[in-house]
Structure 1
Amino acid sequence: MFEKLKKLFAKKIRRPRRFNQGTITRTCRICGKTFTLPDNVQHWPDLCQECRAKHRPAETLTRKCKKCGKPFTFSSNARHWPKYCPKCLESRGQSL
């Protein structure tokens, strides 16, 4: 039994994987730019990365500042979700 499992496992390890087999060139239906995608990605829409980012809905979120406790708002598209309100960040010498 151990030998059968060993052979089965060895076959799986030797099996080649399909990474970066090729690319597909598409044209964005909004801006008309051409862009490339890996051929194994078929579920993406016909929009380039810039147009997808522009048309992604941004929510306005509210959070309490960890320093002063006052609520403040920020965009859900923010790179890092802030912990401090803009006023407290400014007093620390940082900016949004």
Structure 2
Amino acid sequence: MNNQRATHFRTYFQMDAADASALAGAIGLMNLFARSLGGITSDILFKYVGFRGRIWAQFLALFFEAVFLFCMVDSSQPWYVALAVLICFSLFVQMAEGTTV
């Protein structure tokens, strides 16, 4: 997913390579905090609810990942709307990875 973002922006939104690469790189930087956010959420829910809390944390991360993935199907939206949806999608993808650790 991470290595195709710049190509996606260039193909579907006719952006030049420098702008598409900068946007793709900025989204890739979410790895620094989003995985930790998923792990912290999972740990907090485990503290209060037990193992079901971890399951709920992963379910919610995967659920919202799917919601934003369905929002990305509409390619008629402007690039900044697609970018906002992609950022939300990426956030929940990384959070879901953090809930499994």
TM-score (normalised: structure 1): 0.23
- Structure with bigger helix share is 2
Bigger RCO of structures 1 and 2 (CA < 8 A, at least 6 apart): 2
Larger Rg: 1
TM-score (normalised: structure 2): 0.23
